[in-house]
Structure 1
Amino acid sequence: MEPFTNDRLQLPRNMIENSMFEEEPDVVDLAKEPCLHPLEPDEVEYEPRGSRLLVRGLEHYDPIFIQSDGPRGLSYMDSMDIIKLYPLVPCGPFPKSSVTWKSSVIMEDGLVQDEFSESVKMSTYLVAFVVGEMKNLSQDVNGTLVSIYAVPEKIGQVHHALETTVKLLEFYQNYFEIQYPLKKLDLVAIPDFEAGAMENWGLLTFREETLLYDNNTSSVADRKLVTKIIAHELAHQWFGNLVTMEWWNDLWLNEGFATFMEYFSLEKIFEELASYEDFLDARFKTMKKDSLNSSHPISSSSVQSSEQIEEMFDSLSYFKGASLLLMLKTYLSEDVFQHAVVLYLHNHSYAAIHSDDLWDSFNEVTNKTLDVKKMMKTWTLQKGFPLVTVQRKGKQLLVQQERFFLNMKPEIQPSDASYLWHIPLSCVTEGRNYSKYPLVLLLDKKSGVINLTEEVQWVKVNTNMSGYYIVHYADDDWEALIKQLKTNPYVLSDKDRANLINNIFELAGLGKVPLQRAFDLIDYLGNETSTAPITEALFQTGLIYNLLEKLGYMDLASRLVTRVFKLLQSQIQQQTWTDEGTPSLRELRSVLLEFACTHSLENCSTTAMKLFDDWVASNGTQSLPTDVMTTVFKVGAKTERGWLFLLSKYISIGSEAEKNKILEALASSEDVWKLYWLMKTSLNGDIIRTQKLSFVIRTVGRRFPGHLLAWDFVKENWNKLVQKFHLGSYTMQSIVAGSTHLFSTKAHLSEVRAFFENQSEATFRLRCVQEALEVIQLNIQWMEKNLKTLTQWL
């Protein structure tokens, strides 16, 4: 999940500055202004390029004008382009400001006027218009006309989106027991769009790469991305549009539910995509962010300024929110969960709500046999998550909880007494069937006991990683699990195997487990055939490799690669340069061959270069296996000729899927001048659209030649970046993290801190800045604790 896939509402400073307030923008309490200045008179005329918009009682947005293939223009207005005409907005662009709309669009020559039917009651931030030369493909679904729009030359890439949307619409209507209320549902692929997508009611707007699918150049990962984003935005038609959070402090009610339904719906309709692997990976990465002191509760009372609002659009609101819903569904059962969700939607349709309304619906369904509100507030109102420590004694498991906190410095550690969660604990042991083993304890105290029916050789807590917590076992129990993985790993699910790998490496980083024990656990990988455990092992060892490489410990980094390669050598040797196999195995192929080619293993680069040369000889017309296309392009981009050819194809081709693969390869170059040119060109937005800048900076910052350059570029262009993307925006969060996350020296820590301290106080207070500083501190801490051990052991 990359950052652009999170739909996001920008609320930049000028939204407030252009209003009629006299207060300083940063102290305006927007939440207390339910209807600031109703529109008088009730009619406004505004002329975007190519058309005139006649608005009656309608919030208006200043359009972006997009050139595409010459003079044809596309104008769109939605909540991603917030409000130069803000004083004319009825009741403001706030979630609880709901009205009905009636509007007209008059074409430039004045001879044609489009009249729109009066809308349903809806929040002001959900209105959008698109005017331009586009084509569409449509299908009727029980009286709702579903249409996918694209620029004419890309209309052949909308078939997958239409088929997916139809299936998802039918699923959601059945699951929620509420029909989609509009007569039409338009999904529009916009060439230049900063966010991944936006759920405007009845007119969903997308980046081309998140809606279009090219059979010749889109990989299985691209197919999964498009399917997930459509599922997310369609879920918003109920969670966010039909029922809307009252204020941005409860954004997770919109985004957490949409993210949960995104994965849940794919599991039900597109099971072959194995989307649970992506959800598992997202949970791992979200928990890493949530274990920082700079984290925040997903339901927060201190959300007032525009920067604070934008900062809520982060992975916690999306993926922690979704993870908590998964945990609740698993604990209550799927039927009870669905019943409560349906009740919640029926009770609050066309209304603005807060978190208590959701929990009240759950309590009504459970008939107060469980106080869901009390339980879930321990997860939504405090930041972080628990570490559950488990010790096996005969037929009992002794469990206790504390906050999992990565920073080991005493002055930063929180008070244990202030953190307590109500944790649904589950476990699996030898000989127990997964589907029949019940959840055994709701741990609502610091410690508790799980009684087993018999003594067992091993126990694995947090079955299928359905709970949002990390588990630490006593030494003997870790050894028993390691032994079981080596003997027969398949008595545990692939989710549980990946969960064990994640937990032991995170605990090793905290110092609770020796790093060598973490490597002992992954020694079984030679017998692993599933994608999730292998990708998690490569991710965790890759983090270590990156720290070693960036500090110049090349021999040690090489020895680490050799050790990991020996574990996965047989799986790498089995891979073919094709698109054959299940979606999960195809993604595994991408990961393994990327690892092999990056480190010049098993003649991988030779094979990739042969494919690249043949592709170049055909002038880019020869078909390449889509799942390994990025790897092939990266190898080809290592030569001057290959890099320049890829750039020429990037400029000329029409497939966004292929362009993304090329851009990643271009940004993986070892030539710092090329890397600087890419970042500068992306900032200017001519050859490479500005929407790609954060992706380019992150990619440049991952590699050894570019990680210092990326930070220098951000410093040099900070003011321009803030003007384009605004403080607190998801794009700025991504840029700050992507340019600093691999620093691991005190000198870099001081430099980054000094740079942001010299900006405005609001800049230094940004959560992403504090997170960046904390990550650098943790990298330093990790190296100080583990470098000597690694040197002696590898």
Structure 2
Amino acid sequence: MYKSMPLCWVLASLAACVFAMEAQDLEAAEQFYHIQGVYYPAWSVAVPAAYAVGGQLVSFSPDRLYPEATTNKAAVSASSSSGSDKKDQPQHDTTSKKNVRLPRTVLPIHYDVRLFPVLEKDNFSILGQVSIDLQCQMETDRIVLHSADIVVDPKSVKVIEQGKPAGKTLTVASDGIHYDTDMEFLIIRLEDKDKLAKGANYTLSMNFVGNLTDQLRGLYRSTYKEDGVEMSMAVSQMEPTDARRAFPCFDEPNMKATFTVTLGRHRDMTALSNMPEGMEEFYWDHFAPSVPMSTYLIAFIVANFTQVEADVGNATWKFNIYARPSARNQTQYASEIGPKIQTFFEDYFQIPFPLPKQDMIAIPDFAAGAMENWGLITYRETALLYDEKKSSVANKERVCEVIAHELAHQWFGNLVTMDWWTDLWLNEGFASYAEYLGAQHVEPGLKWPQQFVTRELQNVMSLDALESSHPISVVVHHPNEIHEIFDRISYGKGATIIRMLAAFLGEKTFRQGLTNYLKSHQYGNAVQDDLWDALTKQAKVDKVPLPTGVKEIMDTWTLKMGFPVVTVTREYQNNSVLLSQERFLMQRSNASSQDKTVYLWWVPLTYTTDFQKVGSTWLADGQTSKKHELSIPADKNQWVIFNVDQTGYYRINYDSKNWQMIGQQLMTNHLSISAINRAQIMDDSLNLAEAGLLDYETALNLARYLEHETDYVPWNAALTGMNYISSMMSRTSGYGLLKKHFRTIITPLYNLVGFDQKVGEDLLLTKLRTKAVSWACSIGNKDCISRTVNSYAQWMADPENIDIISPNLKGIVACTAIEKGDEAEWEFALNRYMASNVASERDVLLTSMSCSEKPWILAKMLEMSLNPTSGIRKQDAARVIIQVASNSLGRYITFNFIREKWTEIRKVVSNKFFSRIIKAVASSFNTELELKELIQFREERSEELIGAERATQQAIDRAKNNLNWMDVNKDTTLPTTFHTPSNDDESSHYY
């Protein structure tokens, strides 16, 4: 379009735009130019048109518009330090622990942000203007705020004092604009005669230019195809520290302000932000002022998307879903459950949703799963879109949980925000807990309270049992350190201790305490002590019996890493038990002796007997040497189970007789023990055996009861533990015996649930079948392999027939067929991946393609992950690498790949996902050579592992644990345990 413009219009538009911007005349910069029957704002014409002058393609660059800023060109590069001239700048060590917080000399009150994302090929850029109302807290001659990958027009920077008729303009020093690229600071220094006065208000304004990159952070571009035509959109992701890449700002969570946003767009596009529009013109969308909020919650969208308005009943707010036009039919599920969950949380928190609308949008390229921007929540397509015919129960589950998580954030995170990233877990841990409440409200058939135990509690224990774990509450400084704590500890452990807290306080006290906390800190910031204080006060009102204050209890869980194993030793002659606690570790090293932390906790203990009598007590964090004695209502022939429904974040180990009685009960009538406690018994016993605290004979004998089990949650816990044994033994001579042992456990389940899905069956039964089929095929069940391979062959013969394979088994069928097949099977999956319009189906196929046993195919997939023209999106590059690394053959190929392609991978994959790649590659390393190579890799790349140091150390710790496990178990302990009982074996023989 722009190339066909008359040259005179191009030159006139360019001159007008540059003049207007330099003269600070925003009204002139917003003039509309009438070209060939269409209206264009000056800067939307001038900048894209600049590269067509004279029939030559000339790339737009910030220094063409602001030549005075050429010494700072590096600030707008994809990497803030790449190629910059640092000789006159202070040097900073980005890995140091120094404080990189902004000074509190001035605080923002209100932002007026105007952005025009230029979505023209070869000229992706951001033109912007920002005015910030400031309040001076102490006299100063400079303003320090955040800016990264942005170039500011020096002539445009103005500081005006408010409160006087004309407003006094302060003079910016001639050399007063300075970029500190390491600290990501923009420093504006005034002339000596002009200083900001304490208590006075000022307005800081400036024009700037940035690049609209494809780096999935800040304000960036995403591309997709619609009816075969490539489309571009602008989308934002600001958390944790990338608002500074969209516009200069005070980018810290406790520097809240209100925002008025204006977005420029082309006529056929839609602009969205946190608030609804105030008025609409041809190309500028003006949005209403926001409530006070943190910069990381700001959101901008400019796209050709379709809108689906949800039915909200009598709600006071609107609810909209946005998606690509061709994906409109996949928005129904989200539009049904979204308003219901938001209404549920209004009731749960007893606080109305404060905004007039809630938008949710599915983004084709999105690094995170979703982002809770206030009033405009952004999602990966797999986390928001659901196709009834092509998506599985697991996909529905994913959409439900993510929507509930992000809507919980609207209160816990947005209305009340953590003061600093040290308390990130307050946001993420609570949302990860509350998502199960919201999801249970709309999908009770998925039994979310039961699934919490395996999906969150047991899952995070595997990470928290490492010496290189970290406390929930972590002091962080540099942005790279902030990225590191977006992990399972902040999310899963945070959710788990919140659940434990709710259990010992009681639901009524817990909810009222939360409401009091939210109301007293709304539109502000808080630290974890504020929450503890609100809950302690409510506990006193409700007369909840606690051994000490909530803060004293919870500090032992948030300020220390790890968790305890509580040992229960029964005194059978006098109906009592002796209780003791110590930190649970998979392996202790010499580093333990250097750690001076006292690993003792306030442990809320609950217990039940076979008479179903429930009691409770506390283990104090000060009980060190002596054991705690407790009388229990059980005689010597009755079992006792501690940690009822596993509400506490700890493991339990019993004496051998109690383990035996529990096992006998499971074999005779497992339903007398709750499903959650059966899952706990499986998880605790197998992990205690892995750590050497329980013999494997006891653990695996307990698992034999599974031949009677039909509940998903206990099976999920057991199979997770068995998977570790399988991954360790897969390269040993004893693996055949292990597979035979596992077949005796899995085959009855496979025969029970069958291969074919039943109409209207329980959702968790569908999930259980998925597990059963996956395991049956992996351990060599001939019927399973035959049916999967034949089903895939039928699909290859009739590609458009979506009824041949159930969406719930498509991943397993494709994986098995590709593993057993050749290039043709893999190529078919690749072609279906490229052709699919359903993101969840694409994910399944992409994962299945990594099941190949052909080294060259796996190598090809790894190369495709870094190739922007391969059809694999940048957001999925890390996923491909992780999946190939999860293949027993692919882990070595992947390790070589990341060592050889280090530079290219770092350009594509963020620190967050690189951490996951390292963990995936090393998860099954269990030899001296593998450990040595992993340590060597860490040493060689130590200076380049910024943001992934902790993950690398955790990978090394896991490898050490694995190596130790192999030394103890592979030749002696386990082979003697893999005894397949004959038909006349009695259950009593298992103990």
Q: TM-score with structure 1 length normalisation?
A: 0.93
How far apart in 2 are the matches of 1:84 and 1:98?
13
Residue in 2 aligned with 1:565?
743
Aligned partner letter, 1:77: S
Please, which moves more after superposition, 510-519 or 356-365?
510-519
Please, which moves more after superposition, 420-429 or 50-59?
50-59
Q: TM-score with structure 2 length normalisation?
A: 0.75
Among 426, 430, 455, the residue aligned to 2:606: 426
Aligned partner letter, 1:472: N
How far apart in 2 are the matches of 1:53 and 1:633?
47
Residue in 1 aligned with 2:880?
696
1:548 matched to 2:729 = yes
Residue in 1 aligned with 2:470?
296
1:789 matched to 2:973 = yes
1:127 matched to 2:281 = no
Among 298, 309, 312, the residue aligned to 2:485: 312
1:543-588 deviation digits (Å, cap 9, x = unpaired):
1111111xx21x4112112112112322211233333321111100
* Alignment check: 8 A CA contact 2:682 2:699 kept: yes
* Alignment check: 8 A CA contact 2:114 2:263 kept: no
Among 219, 231, 234, the residue aligned to 1:75: 234
1:509-563 deviation digits (Å, cap 9, x = unpaired):
12111111111111111111111221222221121111111xx21x411211211
Matches within 5 A, 1:544-623: 544-549=725-730, 552-553=731-732, 555-580=733-758, 581-623=761-803
Residue in 2 aligned with 1:334?
507
Q: CA deviation at 1:267?
A: 2.6
Q: CA deviation at 1:438?
A: 4.0
Residue in 1 aligned with 2:355?
182
Aligned partner letter, 2:261: S
* Alignment check: 8 A CA contact 1:56 1:102 kept: no
* Alignment check: 8 A CA contact 2:706 2:715 kept: yes
The one of the two structures with greater contact order (alpha-carbon pairs below 8 A, sep at least 6) is 1
Matches within 5 A, 1:527-546: 527-546=708-727
Please, which moves more after superposition, 618-627 or 311-320?
618-627
1:244 matched to 2:417 = yes
* Alignment check: 8 A CA contact 2:418 2:525 kept: yes
Aligned partner letter, 2:838: S
How far apart in 2 are the matches of 1:224 and 1:703?
25
Q: CA deviation at 1:610?
A: 2.0
1:718 matched to 2:902 = yes
How far apart in 1 are the matches of 2:825 and 2:106?
57
How far apart in 2 are the matches of 1:36 and 1:13?
28
Q: CA deviation at 1:264?
A: 2.1
Rate the CA distance shift 1:30–1:415 in 2: closer, same or farther, 3 A: closer
Residue in 2 aligned with 1:63?
220
Among 805, 826, 829, the residue aligned to 1:643: 826
Please, which moves more after superposition, 405-414 or 606-615?
405-414
Q: Give the secondary structure class of the aligned counterpart of 2:975.
A: helix
Q: CA deviation at 1:163?
A: 0.8
1:660-686 deviation digits (Å, cap 9, x = unpaired):
111111011111111111121112233
Q: Give the secondary structure class of the aligned counterpart of 2:721.
A: helix
Q: Give the secondary structure class of the aligned counterpart of 1:791.
A: coil
1:81-120 deviation digits (Å, cap 9, x = unpaired):
96496595221x2111211011111224794211100000
Please, which moves more after superposition, 203-212 or 611-620?
611-620
Please, which moves more after superposition, 63-72 or 190-199?
63-72
How far apart in 2 are the matches of 1:711 and 1:114?
49
1:461 matched to 2:642 = yes
How far apart in 2 are the matches of 1:395 and 1:161?
54
Q: CA deviation at 1:44?
A: 5.4
Residue in 2 aligned with 1:285?
459
* Alignment check: 8 A CA contact 1:408 1:510 kept: no
Structure having the higher Rg: 2
Q: CA deviation at 1:319?
A: 0.5
How far apart in 2 are the matches of 1:759 and 1:65?
31
Aligned partner letter, 1:232: H
Please, which moves more after superposition, 626-635 or 107-116?
107-116
Q: CA deviation at 1:43?
A: 6.0
Superposition misfits of 4+ residues, deviation over 4 angstroms? 15-22, 34-46, 50-60, 80-88, 413-417
Aligned partner letter, 1:747: L
Q: CA deviation at 1:636?
A: 2.5
Q: Which runs of 5 or more residues in structure 1 are unaligned?
A: 1-11
Q: Give the secondary structure class of the aligned counterpart of 1:146.
A: strand
How far apart in 2 are the matches of 1:36 and 1:548?
61
How far apart in 2 are the matches of 1:52 and 1:792?
67
* Alignment check: 8 A CA contact 2:683 2:721 kept: yes
1:378-431 deviation digits (Å, cap 9, x = unpaired):
000000001101011132121011111111445545769711100000011111
Aligned partner letter, 1:217: K
1:666 matched to 2:849 = yes
* Alignment check: 8 A CA contact 1:577 1:625 kept: no
* Alignment check: 8 A CA contact 1:184 1:202 kept: yes
1:211-236 deviation digits (Å, cap 9, x = unpaired):
00011111111100000000000011
How far apart in 2 are the matches of 1:81 and 1:453?
52
Rate the CA distance shift 1:229–1:425 in 2: closer, same or farther, 3 A: same
* Alignment check: 8 A CA contact 1:387 1:469 kept: yes
Rate the CA distance shift 1:323–1:750 in 2: closer, same or farther, 3 A: same
Residue in 1 aligned with 2:837?
654
How far apart in 2 are the matches of 1:556 and 1:87?
57
Bigger share in helix = 1
Q: CA deviation at 1:306?
A: 1.8
1:740 matched to 2:922 = yes
How far apart in 1 are the matches of 2:886 and 2:242?
36
How far apart in 1 are the matches of 2:428 and 2:83?
27
How far apart in 2 are the matches of 1:416 and 1:643?
53
* Alignment check: 8 A CA contact 1:75 1:132 kept: yes
Rate the CA distance shift 1:84–1:256 in 2: closer, same or farther, 3 A: closer
Aligned partner letter, 2:252: F
* Alignment check: 8 A CA contact 2:919 2:955 kept: yes
* Alignment check: 8 A CA contact 1:210 1:229 kept: yes
Aligned partner letter, 1:68: K
Q: Give the secondary structure class of the aligned counterpart of 1:352.
A: strand
* Alignment check: 8 A CA contact 2:112 2:259 kept: no
How far apart in 2 are the matches of 1:667 and 1:355?
43
Please, which moves more after superposition, 639-648 or 692-701?
692-701
Matches within 5 A, 1:14-25: 14=80, 23-25=92-94
* Alignment check: 8 A CA contact 2:265 2:302 kept: no
Q: CA deviation at 1:56?
A: 4.3
How far apart in 2 are the matches of 1:417 and 1:147?
50
Q: CA deviation at 1:739?
A: 1.0
Among 532, 537, 542, the residue aligned to 1:359: 532
Identity of matched residues, %: 31
How far apart in 1 are the matches of 2:898 and 2:323?
34
Aligned partner letter, 2:586: L
Rate the CA distance shift 1:15–1:296 in 2: closer, same or farther, 3 A: farther
1:446-499 deviation digits (Å, cap 9, x = unpaired):
332222234251101111111000111112211221122112111111111111
Aligned partner letter, 2:939: E
Q: CA deviation at 1:741?
A: 1.0
1:776 matched to 2:953 = no
Q: CA deviation at 1:790?
A: 1.9
How far apart in 1 are the matches of 2:678 and 2:829?
39
* Alignment check: 8 A CA contact 1:80 1:195 kept: no
Among 490, 508, 512, the residue aligned to 2:689: 508
Residue in 2 aligned with 1:7?
none
Residue in 2 aligned with 1:754?
936
Among 25, 30, 34, the residue aligned to 2:100: 30
1:165-191 deviation digits (Å, cap 9, x = unpaired):
011011000010111111110100001
Q: Give the secondary structure class of the aligned counterpart of 1:62.
A: strand
